[in-house]
Amino acid sequence: MNSLQRRLQLGLTLSLMLLMALLWWGGSLAVRKLGEDLIGSRLEHDAESLLAALEFGGAAPARIPGKQVNPIYNRPFSGHYFVIRFADGSAEYSRSLWDQTLDVRPLQPGGGAHWYAAGPSGQKLLVWARHYRKQGHAFTLAVAEDLTPLERHLSLFQWTFAGIALAVLFVLLLVQQRVIHGSFRRLESVRADIRRLERGETGTLSEDVPDEILPLVRELNRLLELLARRLERSRNALGNLAHALKGPLNLLVQYLDGEELESHPELRARTRTQTERIRQLVERELKRARLAGGGSPGRRFDARQELPDLVEVLRQVHRRDRLDIRWDVADETPAFGDREDMLELLGNLLDNACKWADARVRCRISGADTIRITVEDDGPGRTEQEMNQLARRGVRLDETVEGHGLGLAIAKDIVKLYNGGIRFDRSGDLGGLRVSVELRQTLEHGALLFAPEAGPAK
214 contact partners, CB below 8 Å, separation of at least 6? 207
Contacts of 404 (CB under 8 A, 6+ apart): 352, 356, 382, 386, 390, 397, 433
List, for residues 163-222, the tens digit of each pLDDT value.
999 999 999 999 988 888 888 887 888 888 887 776 666 777 888 878 888 888 888 888
Crossing angle of helices 339-356/406-417, nearest 10°? 150
* Residues 249-259 pLDDT 10s: 777 777 777 77
Domain 299-458, CATH among 3.40.718.10, 3.30.200.20, 3.30.565.10, 3.90.1720.10: 3.30.565.10
- pLDDT tier, 107 (very low <50, low <70, confident <90, very high otherwise): confident
* CATH entry 1.10.287 includes domain 196-298: yes
Tell me how many helices (H) and strands (E) the chain has: 9, 15
Please write the tens of the pLDDT for every residue from 37-63.
Answer: 999 999 989 888 888 888 877 655 677
The answer to which of 111-115, 202-206, 292-296, 367-371 has the lowest mean pLDDT is: 292-296
C-alpha–C-alpha distance, residues 256 and 268, integer Å: 6
pLDDT digits (tens, 9 = 90+) for 108-159: 888 889 888 888 888 899 999 999 888 888 888 999 999 988 889 999 999 9
Checking if the pLDDT of 352 tops 80, the result is: yes
* Mean pLDDT over each residue of the chain, to the nearest integer: 80
- CATH class assigned to 4-152: alpha beta
228 pLDDT above the threshold of 80? no
Of residues 113 and 240, the one with the higher pLDDT is 113
Q: Where do the domains of the chain lie?
A: 4-152, 196-298, 299-458
Give yes or no for a contact between 128 and 43, defined as CB atoms under 8 angstroms apart. Answer: yes
Q: What is the mean pLDDT of residues 330-354?
A: 86
Alpha carbons 238 and 216: distance in angstroms, whole number: 33
Residue with the bigger pLDDT between 71 and 277: it is 71
